[in-house]
């Protein structure tokens, strides 16, 4: 009977240890998942802020270069794609498109010295640079959270059961041409 009690105690201890491990793992995954969702929300807030600046920037340039309609249309289309992006992959593609369109817009603005001296344009440009910096910081935070979550999901023995609990790997927010968004678009005065 003594051996039976020891076996029962060992079995109960193992069940308790496994239960604690599963509970801690589940709670950790929930915490990482919430952190990634929060980081994605931060990115969308900054993308929306930038999207709100772009129409004002277009209007400022349009006042001096109204004949550059294709540039304005490209920037507007790229802005719409950024606003409508719902996944990191869509946002990455939209980022590339928008960055190229903004480069074209700033190239047009370089031909107009009066525009470059316009205080409103300068303020909008400074806000855009600040927003680009915030987008980069938010993207780094998001990708760090995704890295932690994906690592936790892929780590053995978690990989055996976490997918059945509804957790899945998340996509990184990457851009096709990293050098094109390494720094915000610049205009030389």
pLDDT-based confidence at residue 177 (cuts at 50, 70, 90): low
Q: Please report whether residue 73 resides in a domain.
A: yes
Report pLDDT for 67.
74
Report pLDDT for 179.
53
Stretch 104-120: mean pLDDT, rounded? 82
100 or 177, which is more confident? 100
pLDDT tens-digit map of 117-170:
788 888 888 899 999 999 999 999 999 999 999 999 999 988 888 888 889 999
Alpha carbon distances (Å) from 15 to 9, 21, 90, 123, 150? 10, 10, 44, 63, 27
Q: Please report whether residue 10 resides in a domain.
A: yes
Q: Please report whether residue 136 resides in a domain.
A: yes
| Number of independent structural domains in the chain | 1
Q: Please report whether residue 99 resides in a domain.
A: yes
User: 8 is in which domain, residue-wise?
Assistant: 2-181
Report pLDDT for 176.
65
Radius of gyration of the chain (CA): 25
Return the closest-CA partner of residue 149 out of 180, 172, 174, 116. 172
Q: Please report whether residue 186 resides in a domain.
A: no
Report pLDDT for 50.
92
Buried b (16+ CB within 10 A) or exposed e, 137-155: ebbebbbebbeebbebbee
pLDDT tens-digit map of 4-24:
999 999 999 999 999 999 999
Q: Please report whether residue 89 resides in a domain.
A: yes
Three-state DSSP state, 132: helix
Q: Please report whether residue 116 resides in a domain.
A: yes
Q: Report the CATH number that the domain containing residue 124 is assigned in CATH.
A: 1.20.1440.20
Q: Please report whether residue 187 resides in a domain.
A: no
């Amino acid at each position: 009977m003594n051996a039976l009690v020891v076996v029962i105690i060992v079995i109960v201890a193992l069940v308790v240890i496994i239960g604690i491990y599963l509970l801690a793992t589940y709670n950790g995954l929930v915490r990482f998942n919430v952190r990634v969702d929060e980081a994605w929300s931060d990115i969308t807030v900054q993308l929306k802020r930038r999207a709100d600046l772009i129409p004002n920037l277009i209007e400022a340039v349009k006042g001096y270069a109204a004949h550059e309609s294709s540039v304005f249309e490209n920037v507007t289309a790229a802005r719409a794609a950024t606003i409508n992006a719902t996944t990191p992959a869509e946002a990455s593609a939209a980022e590339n498109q928008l960055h190229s369109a903004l480069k074209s817009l700033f190239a047009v603005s370089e031909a107009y010295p009066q525009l470059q001296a316009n205080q409103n344009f300068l303020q909008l440009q400074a806000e855009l640079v600040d927003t680009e910096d915030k987008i980069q910081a938010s993207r780094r935070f998001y990708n760090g959270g995704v890295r932690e979550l994906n690592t936790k999901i892929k780590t053995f023995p978690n990989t055996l059961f976490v997918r059945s609990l509804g957790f899945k790997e998340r996509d990184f927010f990457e851009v096709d041409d990293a050098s094109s968004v390494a720094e915000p678009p610049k205009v030389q005065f």
